[in-house]
Amino acid sequence: MIEAPALSDRQFDRLARIVRQDSGIVLTKAKRSLLAARLNRRLRSLNLRDYGAYCQRLEGADGIEERRHLLSAVTTNVTAFFREAHHFDALATEILPPLVDAARAGERIRLWSAACASGEEAYSIAMTLLDLFPDAARHDLRILATDIDPTMVARAEAGRYAAQALHPLGAKRLLRFFQRDGEQYTANSDLRAIIRFAELNLHDDWPFSGQFNVIFCRNAVIYFDAPARRRLWYRFARQIRNGGALFIGHSERLDGPAAGLFDPTGTTRFRRNGTLPPNRPEGE
């Protein structure tokens, strides 16, 4: 067996600098072994002798595509259907009913799963919506689901899951929204009709100008440094409509310039208030 190359402190620092620059994710020294384990296979596939050569590839003229693979290796995609169930209870009972009425009246309604991983969150939002509004696809109501990892976006768009992953749905939702596909289940056309999946780095420019009624960004910001985190909260505040809902992760806190632009409405959920964003650069 070929011995895996060692990842030196200097090489780790180079990789961590690239990751932080591209994504805002902070890699501490404690993550060095994990990073090496995840990248060893990548080095073999590229036929690179060591991490020095890999760093040179990342920093070279053709390194943009490889940086996407690096970010895929460092992102942690822990998710589940209806994770943090209290968020979906609030969505069903408090937030969606007036939005459904607005959609029926012809208004444009948009929801965003901003770190969708392999799609469980986005499909959970869609099922919650379709339980209330079965003909949602016939109205101007859509869910955008994005993630920085192109591999995860492809998995989410495929919509195929093992039976064990679908246990939180219960028998009724499983029968309604998924079709048996060999040993797995595939999301049906009702779900697919109202979700659009796309690759998106939250720290890049966003390719949309319209505002959202609901934004989910849960358990992603914990990996960012403080300036990146606060800048992102501020950008969400500018991208969400007054009265719109923001859901964040159970270990996350809303801070920085955006804190005064939201009112808490429950555990890790907020409502955008009417306060105007401060006239300052984002995140400062």
Check the annotation: does 230 bind a ligand.
no
In the chain the domains, ranked by start, together with CATH numbers, are 9-74 (1.10.155.10), 85-272 (3.40.50.150)
Q: From residue 160, how far is each of 81, 98, 151, 185 by CA, in Å?
A: 13, 31, 14, 5
Give the model's confidence band at 64: pLDDT under 50 very low, under 70 low, under 90 confident, else very high.
Answer: confident
Q: Is 135 tagged catalytic?
A: no
Check the annotation: does 94 bind a ligand.
no
**Burial class of residue 31, CB neighbours in 10 A (0-12, 13-18, 19+):** middle
Alpha helices in the chain (DSSP H): 9-23, 32-46, 51-59, 64-74, 85-90, 96-104, 120-132, 150-158, 170-177, 189-192, 226-239
Query: pTM for this one?
Result: 0.86
What does the pLDDT look like over 142-193, one tens digit per residue? 999 999 888 899 999 999 999 999 999 999 999 999 999 989 999 999 999 9
- Which of 14, 22, 110, 147 is an active site residue? 147
Is residue 283 a contact partner of residue 237, using CB atoms and an 8 Å limit? Answer: no
Helix (H, G, I), strand (E, B) or coil at 259: helix
- Which of 20, 38, 67, 68 is an active site residue? 38
Check the annotation: does 77 bind a ligand.
yes
> In the numeric block, which tokens belong to residue 28?
């501490």
> For strand 212-217 and strand 240-248, is the pairing parallel, antiparallel, or unpaired?
parallel
Check the annotation: does 201 bind a ligand.
yes
Separation of CA 52 from chain center: 31
Q: Is 38 tagged catalytic?
A: yes
Query: Does residue 283 surpass a pLDDT of 50?
Result: no
How far apart are alpha carbons 143 and 11 in whole angstroms?
40
Check the annotation: does 147 bind a ligand.
yes
Is residue 259 a contact partner of residue 232, using CB atoms and an 8 Å limit? Answer: no
Of 64-68, 182-186, 269-273, minimum mean pLDDT range: 64-68
What does the pLDDT look like over 4-26, one tens digit per residue? 788 999 999 999 999 888 888 88
